Amino acid sequence: MKTRLCVAITEQTTARAVEAVRALPPDVSTVEVRFDYIAEPDVERICRACDREMIATCRPPRQGGRFYGEEPDRLDILRRAAAAGAAFVDLEEDSRHKIGFLALPAGCRLILSSHDFSRTPDDLPSVFARLHSLAPDGAIVKLATKAESIIDAVCMLRDVREFILETGCDAIGLCMGEEGLITRILAPKVGAFLTFASAGQGGESAPGQLPFREMLDLYHFDRIGPRTRVYGVIANPVGHSMSPAIHNAAFAHVGLDAVYLPLKVHAVEPFVPAFRPFDVGGYSVTIPHKEAMVALVDEVEPLVEEIGALNTVVYDGDRAFGYNTDVNAAVGAIREACVQAGWGEDENVLLGQKVLLIGAGGAGRALAHGLKAAGALLTVANRTVERAERLAAEVDAEFVPLDGVDTVEYDILVNTTSVGMSPKVDAMPVPAEILNAGTVVFDAVYNPLETRLLRCAREAGCIVATGFQWFVGQAAAQFELWTQHAAPLEIMADVVRRKLGH
């Protein structure tokens, strides 16, 4: 059975509900009409207009709905929808004894639903078992709870899959809220009967629903199945991440049965082992988990050992490997610019080059270690002096205060501060006067694609390497580590350009 993608219609008038149903494209097979949102709904007209499978729902406030009328009127709406051709009628667990009143015709199935908008109970299997025992033969069981953390969502995925396998019953198990997102996207992975999406931004019937276009175009929902490999970015916060768009586009382009998810994780220690049974192929790891994740893999590349931070996990059978594609991609972009500058052709082009590195945060540390390993001679400058001193000592580098950068002789200038990043695009991490023709200038900032520093550097006759090259390069390296396929660089770069509005 293919998991349905069901779009919830939450319009407030009959005419608009009819319009909304008609506007849906053919790849949406199922709609849920929320009759409780519609003032005095013309049930028969809506059912006639609906040219696809319909779930009729009319929820009372006690189950999170908006029907404030009398109970007999609510049940009457459902009965009329069933008689007018609805394929499914949703009835809440606490109304189950009223099922006789609905007089469901043959071909109309009951969805027996239960909602908890405040939490996810610890013992989901017993909740599924209770619903199963109350549901009449042939009914679909639906459980929707609020995820307080991603662990709740992982438990829901595990327990709905287990329930379906054990009972053979059709079931829906979803977690609401941002933390529950994976239960919506991975519904086909666990064999759920359907998952819900909104008709568009703002049209959600429950917290955490994604617009159906996002489910189809970003996550390629229609291609997800029980065998799909699962990847994702472990971060907190994660909402701003471009990685799902980049990697899902790359997976689809190469034709891989894989999906990439945003994973808002508070603590990696409980999450990583719990999510492992869902065919996880690997992770991108970012702030604040790059250090903690090192302890959760079996082996790391030497660079990770040295820096104490990784950004990529690759699973191979039972073993997990940690890499830092961040460092290699950034150093690679700088190396390419040095080759362009005519300083050499090979891997050793950075050997003995004098680098002025601005910044001592996460990016600064990664670059400092990577450039040192490539044989460059470093001088570190940073706003917070102690941080720069510490980093300089770590990588055996010189140190200058930020207002002393004009005294430093350099071949390569590397900005790893966030200065110049959108929206403060006019800011410069160093004065333009210190930029010299023929040197290489690298800026870690990738939003905007061309920072003021890079523009000034080009104008001064420098050869530039960009944060954009870094960003795409680290994602491409992750893709190749996970899939052993050449990364579709142009596709990935295009996604980033589009996301940044270029």
Binding site for ligand NAP (CB under 6 A): 359-364, 382-384, 387, 416-419, 421, 444-446, 467, 470-471, 474
Q: How far is the CB of 455 from ligand NAP (least distance, A)?
A: 16
Strands of the sheet with 258-264, listed across from one edge? 258-264, 229-235, 280-285, 312-316, 319-323, 299-300
Instruction: Decide whether 208 or 359 has the Cβ nearer to ligand NAP.
Output: 359
The number of C-alpha atoms within 13 Å of 341 and in the hemisphere containing its C-beta is: 23
The amino acid sitting at 196 is F
* Residue carrying the six token digits 């990439």: 260
Q: How far is the CB of 393 from ligand NAP (least distance, A)?
A: 15
For residue 372, indicate whether it is catalytic: no
Q: Exposure string (b/e) for 459-492, b if CB count within 10 Å is 16 or more?
A: ebebbbbbbbbbbbbbbbbbbebbbeeebbeeeb
User: C-alpha 15: how far from its chain's center?
Assistant: 35
**Looking at 170, 326, 411, 443, which residue is catalytic?**
326
Report the candidate in 457, 418, 419, 417 with the shortest Cα–Cα distance to residue 439: 457
Instruction: Decide whether 153 or 419 has the Cβ nearer to ligand NAP.
Output: 419
Instruction: Decide whether 35 or 283 has the Cβ nearer to ligand NAP.
Output: 283
Instruction: Decide whether 95 or 382 has the Cβ nearer to ligand NAP.
Output: 382
To 10 degrees, what angle do helices 467-483 and 243-254 make? Answer: 50
Instruction: Decide whether 18 or 464 has the Cβ nearer to ligand NAP.
Output: 464
Q: How far is the CB of 475 from ligand NAP (least distance, A)?
A: 8
For residue 326, indicate whether it is catalytic: yes
Handedness of CA 401, 407, 409, 414 (dihedral sign): positive
* CB of 31 closer than 8 Å to CB of 52: yes
Q: How far is the CB of 331 from ligand NAP (least distance, A)?
A: 12
221: left (phi over 0), alpha (psi -120 to 50) or beta: alpha
Q: Which residue is nearest to ligand NAP (CB)?
A: 361
Q: How far is the CB of 12 from ligand NAP (least distance, A)?
A: 42
Q: How far is the CB of 322 from ligand NAP (least distance, A)?
A: 17
* CB of 142 closer than 8 Å to CB of 170: no
Q: How far is the CB of 363 from ligand NAP (least distance, A)?
A: 3
DSSP category for residue 268: H
**Looking at 142, 146, 220, 264, which residue is catalytic?**
142
Report the candidate in 143, 167, 140 with the shortest Cα–Cα distance to residue 155: 143
Residue 406 makes CB contacts below 8 A (sequence gap 6+) with 431, 433, 434
Instruction: Decide whether 58 or 444 has the Cβ nearer to ligand NAP.
Output: 444
> Encoding tokens for residue 227?
């065998």
Q: How far is the CB of 427 from ligand NAP (least distance, A)?
A: 7
Distance CA 103, CA 334 (A): 71
Instruction: Decide whether 418 or 436 has the Cβ nearer to ligand NAP.
Output: 418
Question: In 84-232, which ranges are continuous DSSP H helix?
Answer: 99-102, 124-134, 150-167, 181-185, 212-213
* Residue carrying the six token digits 């996880």: 280
Instruction: Decide whether 124 or 366 has the Cβ nearer to ligand NAP.
Output: 366
For residue 2, indicate whether it is catalytic: no
**Looking at 247, 289, 290, 369, which residue is catalytic?**
290
> Encoding tokens for residue 278?
């869902």
Distance CA 219, CA 210 (A): 10
Instruction: Decide whether 87 or 500 has the Cβ nearer to ligand NAP.
Output: 500
For residue 289, indicate whether it is catalytic: no
Q: How far is the CB of 87 from ligand NAP (least distance, A)?
A: 48
Distance CA 18, CA 398 (A): 70
Question: Measuring CA to CA, how many Å separate 186 from each of 1, 195, 226, 409?
Answer: 15, 9, 9, 54
To 10 degrees, what angle do helices 325-340 and 362-373 make? Answer: 60
Give catalytic residues, as residue numbers: 115, 142, 290, 326
